[in-house]
Structure 1
Amino acid sequence: MFETIRNAFKVKEIRQKLIYTFFMLLIYRLVSVIPAPGVNIAAVKASTGSGLDMLDMINMMTGNAFQQMTIMAMGITPYINSSIIMQLLTIAIPALERLQKEGEEGRKKIARITRYVTIGLALFQAIGLVSSLGYIKPGWFNSVLVGVSMSAGTALCMWMGERITEKGIGNGISLLIFAGIISNLFNGTLNLIRTAISRGLLSDWISVFAVLILLVVMIVLVTFVNLGERRIPVNYAKRVRGRKMYGGQSTYMPMKVDASGVLPMIFAYSFMAFPSTIIQLTAPNSGFALWWNTYMNQGSPAYLLITALLIFGFTFFYSSISYDPVEISKNLQENGGMIPGIRSGKATVNFINRVKNRLTMFNAFFLAVVATIPTVATIQLRTAIPFAASSILIGVSVALETMRQLEGQLTTRNYEGFLR
């Protein structure tokens, strides 16, 4: 990895892209400390992390920008939600499905629609969430200020992400999330160390070392699974066109183990966080609220079991919409390809489906186990773990994908240099 980065800085064009990416991320972090006008900062700091799981998730994704109630408080989360909504609507609405199949122009139109939905969603989330929590100062003008400033912050995040993707290295949106997660992880770990130093207890230092070891172990496990893939061999038949012969080669079709990424975990967390958030906002002292906080808190067996089942369900759901064995089989057949020992057509579809289900089952089990590790560790160590499983998954995935793009660009430059 370090060799790749060192070689990248030797190529002028790649070096400029890396500097541009770093510069944009630096601006993002600097803008993230600008306070939003019209909010009560004291009320925000008192409420964040007090049982509102949805707020903790937003805070994790924005690198503490929500806790500080800056103009980047909503961060890029409205864009992620809009992208997920558009992805689901593309499956449900035939007009959007046709638009997606129109090629580059169709994708540009969908991207434009996603931007408009993002701004509307950011405005709604900013005013609705912040006002319902009592964070906005009295007066309608303050509500307007909060909505406009935070939706403008989301728009800036979206623009910066697209510029990084276009002129920098890696996926810009993912790198903005990555920057927020790294900032949150650094601050959380630093707070643990400060607590251990101030109290001077051996148990505190044991907890710090245990957290660091757990972090390393989780990064290694997630990296191992993220890089894992099932390679299905494919043979292409020889075809003669005119005086030339095409095909006749053997290759493989990769199927990633972690094809669904972190989405099933985010969906499951959001699903579980929604009821507790509604209860806290509407009837925090009711009997149902007492029952929920007693039996469905984050450390309860029922919460962990339901979260694991939701992760299983969302993993299989996402796998069903991202992998289409019928389409894969059709493409193989049209290009003269076949899997050794498997007949073309329905047999190929069944084989791919069987492999997909096995990989999905393993991935679902892995995500469910990883999701529960930080919660169990928090209970056993009796200290707050400064990271969530989703943040580790996102961080590792973004880092690996960025390194792949960097290596790809280096390989391209080497080929160009050889040809010249």
Structure 2
Amino acid sequence: MLSKLKQAWKIKAVRKKVMYTLMMIVIFRIGTTIPVPGIDTSIIQKMVGGNSLLSLYNMFTGGAFSNFSLFALGISPYITASIIIQLLTVGFESLAELQKSGEEGKKKINKYTKYTALALAVVQALGITLGIVRSALISNSVFFITTVVITLVSASMLVMWIGDKITEKGIGNGSSVIIFAGIISRIPTDVIKISQQVKSGQVAPWVIVILAVVILLTVTGVTFIQEATRKIPVQYAKRVVGRKMYGGQSSHIPMKVNQSGVMPIIFASSLLAFPQTIAMFMGPNAQAFVQKYLSMATEQGFWTYRSIEILLIIFFSYFYTTVSFNTEDISKNMKNNGGFIPGIRPGEPTMDYLNRILTRLTLAGATFLAIIAMVPALTTHYMKVNMSLAGTSLLIVVGVALELKRQLESNLVMRSYQGFLK
């Protein structure tokens, strides 16, 4: 990764993208340190410390929630909105057609996603202000609560804009990079906290050794599953056009074991954090239910949460793969260009064959991803060590880092070709 950054730094266009991404991350981090006025943050920090769901949410916001800063909502409204819109494209033919209608259709889908994100941000801001942090407010007046809600919603839209700009002008997917930056920012706090626990005798040194080994194995496993690819051979038939002969060469279709990357993990974590907000509108019974069955502080809550998380990871792996890898389009393009898979007839048989391979690969990738997510989570849970970089957060960090590396490489290759052509 460092060698790629050094190479990127030598190319002006790529250097600009890297600098732009870093600048946007700095703006995001500044926003996480500016507190919303009129809030007693010490009360919120105690809540976060005693509630595993809030602790997880705080991790994704990079500590912005515990400080109740401007960016306390983070990017979660936009991610949840993306999930809703993508699910609707499967159920509604008009949205599905819109998604397939090129760049203009994608712009409209993106606009609908942003409107949905705005509505969700309002709901989430109201839920947090009227429910979770109400005891930390200096005033319960309608004016003050309205001001806090407007501040949170406006700041959330700014985070969404930052994510869009990173995707458009920077390196990587903006939403993933923001979550990545938030998780990474919690590492120094974790290191200080764990070192203090070791010094005080709360945590034995051998526990840290086991954690380090588990993290190393997890990073290795994620790297393997992210990079693993099955190459489907493709042969192109020879054809004569005028006096020239075309085709006859062979190629391959790269099918990744984990086609969807880290998006299933991000989607699953975002959905699991949302019930806490909804429960705020439904009274103490709903809050107690969420705390009992989704709080990782209790044994029952831990296993319920992790079981749902595994199911969601597997579901979104299949869903996201279906959206991002269209076997019908691939088989049509192959047929139109005289391509075929050896032993498989062009057209529908090719599509069926690709679907079978994709289903098996996705099952293997999703299962492996779910197992990797569980191992660090089980280790930290049963060894009573509280740290941000475990389970899903570790998967996200490694997955996004690999994706950034891949994008840097593709940018470097593209610039090299441009330089050669000049």
Instruction: Mark yes or no: TM-score above 0.5.
Output: yes
Which residue number in structure 2 is paired with residue 244 of structure 1?
244
Q: 1:389 aligns with which of 366, 388, 391?
A: 391
Distance 1:399 1:161 in 2: 16
Q: Is the 8 A contact 1:38 1:145 kept in 2?
A: no
Aligned pair in 2 of structure 1 residues 382, 259: CA closer, same or farther (>3 Å)?
same
Which residue number in structure 2 is paired with residue 98 of structure 1?
97
Aligned pair in 2 of structure 1 residues 400, 86: CA closer, same or farther (>3 Å)?
same
Shift of 1:284: 7.4
* Higher relative contact order, chain-length normalized (CA < 8 Å, sep 6+): 2
Q: Is the 8 A contact 2:234 2:250 kept in 1?
A: yes
Aligned pair in 2 of structure 1 residues 142, 388: CA closer, same or farther (>3 Å)?
farther
Which residue number in structure 2 is paired with residue 410 of structure 1?
412
Aligned pair in 2 of structure 1 residues 10, 345: CA closer, same or farther (>3 Å)?
closer
Which residue number in structure 1 is paired with residue 301 of structure 2?
297
* TM-score w.r.t. length of structure 2: 0.88
List aligned pairs for 1:1-400, cutoff 5 A.
1-53=1-53, 55-135=54-134, 136=137, 137-197=139-199, 199=200, 201=201, 203-269=203-269, 282-283=284-285, 296-298=300-302, 300=303, 304-305=306-307, 307-400=309-402
Shift of 1:94: 2.3
Shift of 1:104: 1.2
**Amino acid of the residue matched to residue 166 of structure 1?**
E
Aligned pair in 2 of structure 1 residues 85, 202: CA closer, same or farther (>3 Å)?
closer
Q: Secondary structure at the match of 1:283?
A: helix
Distance 1:418 1:291 in 2: 59
Shift of 1:266: 4.5
Q: Is the 8 A contact 1:58 1:74 kept in 2?
A: no
Aligned pair in 2 of structure 1 residues 243, 216: CA closer, same or farther (>3 Å)?
same
Structure 1: which 5+ runs fail to align?
Answer: none
Distance 1:8 1:292 in 2: 44
Aligned pair in 2 of structure 1 residues 307, 174: CA closer, same or farther (>3 Å)?
closer
Q: Secondary structure at the match of 1:65?
A: coil
Q: Secondary structure at the match of 2:10?
A: coil
Aligned residues: 415
Task: Note the alpha carbon deviations across 1:191-213, whole angstroms, 9 max, x for none.
Answer: 1123323x1x3953222333233
Q: Secondary structure at the match of 1:251?
A: strand
**Amino acid of the residue matched to residue 23 of structure 2?**
F
**Amino acid of the residue matched to residue 296 of structure 1?**
Q
Shift of 1:235: 0.8
Aligned pair in 2 of structure 1 residues 179, 85: CA closer, same or farther (>3 Å)?
same
Distance 2:239 2:129 in 1: 64
Aligned pair in 2 of structure 1 residues 128, 187: CA closer, same or farther (>3 Å)?
same
| Range 236-245 or range 250-259, more displaced | 236-245
Q: Secondary structure at the match of 1:260?
A: coil
Shift of 1:408: 2.0
Distance 1:304 1:264 in 2: 14
Task: Note the alpha carbon deviations across 1:145-164, whole angstroms, 9 max, x for none.
Answer: 22111111111112222222
Distance 1:222 1:355 in 2: 21
Q: Is the 8 A contact 1:228 1:257 kept in 2?
A: yes
Q: Is the 8 A contact 2:80 2:267 kept in 1?
A: no
* TM-score w.r.t. length of structure 1: 0.88
Distance 1:27 1:269 in 2: 24
Aligned pair in 2 of structure 1 residues 213, 156: CA closer, same or farther (>3 Å)?
same
What value does the CA root-mean-square deviation take over the aligned residues?
2.8
Shift of 1:5: 1.4
Aligned pair in 2 of structure 1 residues 249, 268: CA closer, same or farther (>3 Å)?
same
Q: Is the 8 A contact 2:176 2:400 kept in 1?
A: yes
Structure 2: which 5+ runs fail to align?
Answer: none
| Range 67-76 or range 286-295, more displaced | 286-295
Task: Note the alpha carbon deviations across 1:290-324, whole angstroms, 9 max, x for none.
Answer: 688766221x4x65445434544443444444444
Distance 1:417 1:270 in 2: 42
Aligned pair in 2 of structure 1 residues 28, 288: CA closer, same or farther (>3 Å)?
closer
Identity, in percent, stands at 41
**Amino acid of the residue matched to residue 369 of structure 1?**
I
Q: Secondary structure at the match of 2:386?
A: coil
Shift of 1:288: 10
